[in-house]
Amino acid sequence: MNLQKNRDEIFQAVAQATKEAHRSQESVNIIAVTKYVDSSITKDLIKTGIEHIGENRVDKFLEKYEALADQKLTWHLIGSLQRRKVKDIINYLDYFHALDSVKLAEEIQKRATKPIKCFLQVNISREESKHGLLVEEVHSAVQTIKEYEKIELVGIMTMAPFGADVAQLNDIFSKAHALQKELQQLGIPNMPFTELSMGMSGDYKEAIANGSTFVRIGTAFFK
Ligand SMILES: *Cc1c(COP(=O)(O)O)cnc(C)c1O
């Protein structure tokens, strides 16, 4: 496993996709998803030039956060969060990508000591196995959550179905982009909705073509 080579290939491919989409290079952030490796390999990866770290589980997040406390990093929790675990983790996060219910928002409002940047996770593909609000549930959730000053809704997060073809990816990602723009236009204070968290190792090019501003890449770093 050559971490520097993998890192450089990913950053180059992201830069290329960004250019092809006629977007500015700074508009796409790359989150290295380190759930497959331990803290020691994560440290080696950071040395190759990584600013954003993502984990999908609370215990693994906290383990890495502690081991890498001396590093200058931006921390993302990208996976679903159980309400009873909110208090253990919420104040260590820079970004939370999987806000998927009003009840979870309520718990964050109760436990956070500062505003937390959150993405509303939306199940655009309507797969039963996926977390996230359905599109028709989004507006009413936003109306409730806007009263919670500890939650800053920065954008929408979505995941495409496993094995989706290019046409399906473009369909799902363009719908997410349209929803993000629609919510941004509401102009609600503390809900900028400027960001789009979508794209993983297998589909980040399509995600960038459709406006993604945070890609969450794991496997491609550690192949
Ligand atoms: C694991 C994970 C990723 C990264 O997926 P890869 O296919 O390994 O790049 C992205 N987002 C979430 C929510 C994940 O759990």
CATH of the domain at 64: 3.20.20.10
Q: For ligand 1, is residue 218 a contact (CB within 6 Å)?
A: yes
Q: For ligand 1, is residue 6 a contact (CB within 6 Å)?
A: no
Q: For ligand 1, is residue 35 a contact (CB within 6 Å)?
A: yes
Mean pLDDT of the chain: 97
**pLDDT at residue 135 above 90?**
yes
Q: How far apart are CA 153 and CA 86, in angstroms?
A: 17
* Position 128 confidence tier, pLDDT thresholds 50, 70, 90: confident
**pLDDT at residue 156 above 90?**
yes
pLDDT at 213: 98
Average pLDDT over residues 17-36: 98
Ligand 1 mean position, distance from CA 188 (Å): 30
**pLDDT at residue 12 above 90?**
yes
Q: For ligand 1, is residue 10 a contact (CB within 6 Å)?
A: no
pLDDT at 54: 98
pLDDT at 1: 86
As for how many domains the chain has, the answer is 1
* Token code pair at residue 141: 């959730």
Ligand 1 mean position, distance from CA 147 (Å): 31
The predicted-structure confidence for 74-103, as pLDDT tens digits, reads as follows 999 999 999 999 999 999 999 999 999 999
**pLDDT at residue 16 above 90?**
yes
Ligand 1 mean position, distance from CA 119 (Å): 16
Judge residue 213's burial from the number of C-beta atoms within 10 Å of its C-beta, 0-12 exposed, 13-18 middle, 19 or more buried. Answer: buried
Q: How far apart are CA 209 and CA 64, in angstroms?
A: 32
- Domain that residue 192 falls in: 3-221
